[in-house]
Structure 1
Amino acid sequence: MNAPGPIPPKILATGGAGYIGSHVVIALLERGFDVVVLDDYSNSHEEAARRINRLSRGRRARFLRGDVCNAATLEALFRAHRFDAVVHFAGLKAVADSVARPEHYYGVNIAGAACLLAAMARHGVERLVFSSSATVYGLADTVPIPETAPLRPANPYGRTKHMIETMLADVARARPGSRTVMLRYFNPVGAHPSGLIGEDPVGEPANLFPLIARSVQGGGRPLSVFGTDYDTPDGTCIRDYIHVEDLAEGHVAALDKLLATDLARGEALPVNLGVGRGVSVREAIAAFERVSGQQVRTVEAPRRPGDVAECVADPARAMKLLNWHPRRDLDAMCRDMWRWRLLNPDGYRGREVLATAADEMPPIAPVPAGEAQQTFRDAVRG
């Protein structure tokens, strides 16, 4: 009789059905972690949860509907599960919306983090990976931007991330056993290569690539290029785009470090996740046109409030400390995003959800990208 294997670490992923969270949950399951997801589906979809478990090669996550701002919900969750670590994605994330509704962003993002940290403290959970953002840097003095750069967020969304990072640093000083990594994302793009999981924002999209796809699929509505008079080579904003699959691998690397070593013990360590190369809006449009064969009609528009001209990562710390390296280029980001959009032109809302209890559905194995259409049909049939 074989001896039982080691018990896998149990991870709580708040907001794990969202765009970033869903890809990270798949990566964690494939890595062998036991994953519990808490999501209120305010900016995500139950269908994403179902598809996650179809792509996870036999290991399935448990999905629970709930609000991270609800202390009673968190208390019940932490009583029911003994977590080894938490990955915190839950929160609002649109820059322009945060400028229009700052009180909403402060209320949700700050309160959610505070409630989660209180629950972790009550139940002795010391390891945390926080979903932060490069918006904490604001208008940087130098590019590429290292983690040591001054933090001057230029919009309420970025300020909520900065405030939560400050909160995490204070908690680390108060609890010397805590271990926290704050992953400062640059600009996630792309989708799972199967075409089953991708970015499907609720309401008006705010990020460039969903807007590009909408302009092509939305009956010829031109893409607004917000600002053409920036101090950049072609006048448009420059961003560091990173494939969401590379971003997911960065979370796995951070958790591996937190669980295996004394990394960040008694401190909250910021780590950039970016490629280290900038791409302008016009260059991104050209890449999408090259990969998709579609023409993108554009119209010039004023700058959006809160945007900065250039934001590019210095990813050296992640490469050295986490042994993480981005592996996918801009063409792969465009190709995977476009496959997702072709297979799901209306996002997750394009078909009736067959089951809301995702962990009751049998998984399917992922297939090469060229077979994504058949994979999608199999998933629809259930």
Structure 2
Amino acid sequence: MAPEGSVLVLGGHGFVGRHVCAAFAQRGRRVIVAGRRPSPRPSQYPFVRMDLAMLSAAELAAELERLRPGIVINTVGSIWGRSAEEMWAAAALPTQRLISALSSLSFRPRLVHLGSVLEYGHVAPGTTVGPHTVPRPDTAYGRAKLAATETAVRAMRSGAVDGMVLRLANIAGPGAPAISLLGQVAERLAACVGRDEVAEVRLSPLSAYRDYVDVRDAAEAVIAAAFATEHVGVIVDIGRGEAIPVRSLVDLLIKLSGVPARVVEQGSKPLVPDWLQLDIRPAMRLLGWRPRRTIAESVRDYWADVRPSGVQQQTRA
């Protein structure tokens, strides 16, 4: 039976969080956004100031008792460019406090915690990772996210918290942050729209193969997990189930923009390219979910979202 009550989206003003809010609202659910500060953009959802990095577990529990949501979606912890200590404080500790708070409540909301495929760490090219894979994160971000996931799963499997974990692949689509690969490329392309010049796009080596999924498909997976109450303490990977060369995304965005561009890869390429491909069969079996949008649609809609106002989308031959 689907959980009743409102949906509290922690980090609801972020890239993934905004799409999760919209997906629940489209289904007629009352959505509440929680975060450190209100969004500078207009928002149709009530906002609650809730800084998981600063609140104690007891303070957080008191706020949850006041709101009494039926569903809690935890999208916090998606950060980059921090030290290991800052990464832990932003990506691990907030979830640990959240789990402690949820465990003490007088009611049991359904939690969907969003993890990251970077929790798996480096794997050999051609490998498909999934429930059978032992995570061995090799970055500070991956280690912090794994700690958060393990905290959530332990509480779920012990019966203290109701919910499940989704490990998200690389995310693409409208609203992708400027720090992302597509964001970096789009910034240079947008600066050259309407000018008689070639955009020079400087990037780190583009030798990696990654599993990408559209942010709107990821939001649909979150909804499926929230309503799949028969599954508790399960980790499900969400992606397209295919590793694609990241260079192909860059080339596609450049083509869609219609802006002449030259890509400059800076630095030495690794001897063995980074690779990540997910096993999405459990998502299909347990959640009835599968990706619906192609990578081309994701990139097209992303450019439509960020291209300078008044500029028509065009493609180069």
TM-score, normalised with respect to structure 2: 0.86
Identify the match of residue 139 of structure 1 among 122, 145, 166: 122
Map 1:1-382; keep pairs closer than 5 Å.
8-41=4-37, 46-48=39-41, 50-51=42-43, 53=44, 61-69=45-53, 70-71=55-56, 74-94=60-80, 97-98=81-82, 101-123=83-105, 124-141=107-124, 143-174=127-158, 176=159, 178-191=161-174, 198-201=175-178, 205=179, 207-219=180-192, 222-227=200-205, 236-258=207-229, 262-264=230-232, 268-302=233-267, 309-342=274-307
Give the secondary-structure state (helix, strand or coil) at the position aligned to 1:128: strand
Counterpart of 1:231?
none
Provide, for residues 285-323 of structure 1, a one-character-per-residue CA deviation record: whole Å limited to 9, x for no partner.
222233332333211112699x96111211111111101
Mapped to 1, the partners of 2:237 and 2:295 lie a distance apart of 18
183 and 172 in structure 1: CA distance in 2 versus 1, 3 angstrom threshold: same
CA distance in 2, matches of 1:291, 1:8: 43
Give the drift of 1:343. 5.4
Change (3 A) 1:297 1:108: same
Shift in Å at residue 76 of structure 1?
A: 4.1
Unaligned runs of 5+ in 2: 193-197
Q: Report how far residue 218 of structure 1 moved.
A: 3.3
Q: What is the distance in 2 between the residues matched to 1:344 and 1:65?
A: 32
Matching residue's letter, 2:35: D
Q: Choose between structure 1 and 2: higher helix proportion.
A: 1
Whole-angstrom distance in 1 between the partners of 2:3 and 2:104? 23
Distance in structure 1 (CA, Å) of the matches to 2:133 and 2:3:
40
Cα shift at 1:118: 1.8
Q: Does the 8 A contact of 1:8 with 1:32 survive in 2? A: no
SS at match of 1:336: helix
Alpha-carbon distance, 1:178 to partner: 3.0
CA contact (8 A) 1:139 1:308 kept: no
Counterpart-to-counterpart distance in 2, 1:344 and 1:148: 47
SS state at 1:77 partner = helix
Q: Write out per-residue CA displacement over residues 198-249 of structure 1, whole angstroms, 9 at most, x where no aligned residue.
A: 1345xxx1x2111110121235663233225xxxxxxx11111111111111
The 1:246–1:304 alpha-carbon spacing in structure 2 relative to 1, beyond 3 Å, is farther
4+ residue runs of structure 1 moved beyond 3 angstroms?
A: 218-221
- Report the CA distance shift for 1:89/1:138 in structure 2 as closer, same or farther (over 3 A): same
Q: SS where residue 297 of structure 1 aligns? A: strand
Which gives a bigger RCO, structure 1 or 2 (Cα 8 Å, sep 6+)? Answer: 1
Contact kept? 1:8, 1:34, Cα under 8 Å:
no
* Root-mean-square deviation over aligned CA pairs: 2.6
Please name the residue that 1:378 is paired with. Answer: none
Give the letter for the 1:116 counterpart: L
Structure-1 separation of matches of 2:111 and 2:212: 25
Q: What is the one-letter code of the residue matched to 2:166?
A: L
The residue type paired with residue 185 of structure 2 is: I
What is the one-letter code of the residue matched to 1:122? Answer: S
Indicate the residue corresponding to 2:195 in structure 1.
none
Structure 1 pair 102/244, CA: closer, same or farther in 2 (3 Å)? Answer: same
1:121-169 Cα deviation digits (max 9, x unpaired): 2213352111100001111245222222120111000111111122123
Measured after TM superposition, the shift of residue 12 of structure 1 is 1.4
Kindly tell me the number of residue pairs found equivalent between the two proteins.
Answer: 300
> Aligned partners of 1:84, 1:126: CA distance in 2, in Å?
5
Q: Hey, what's the Cα distance between the residues in 1 that align with 2:259 and 2:278?
A: 30
Q: 2-side partners of 1:64 and 1:167: how far apart?
A: 25
| Contact 1:105-1:160 at 8 Å conserved across structures | yes
Identity %: 25
Given that 1:288 and 1:334 are in contact with CA atoms closer than 8 Å, whether structure 2 keeps it comes out as yes
SS in 1 for 2:92: helix
Contact 2:103 / 2:160 at 8 angstroms: preserved in 1?
Answer: no
> Given the superposition, is the C-alpha separation of residues 281 and 296 from structure 1 closer, same or farther in structure 2, using an over 3 Å criterion?
farther
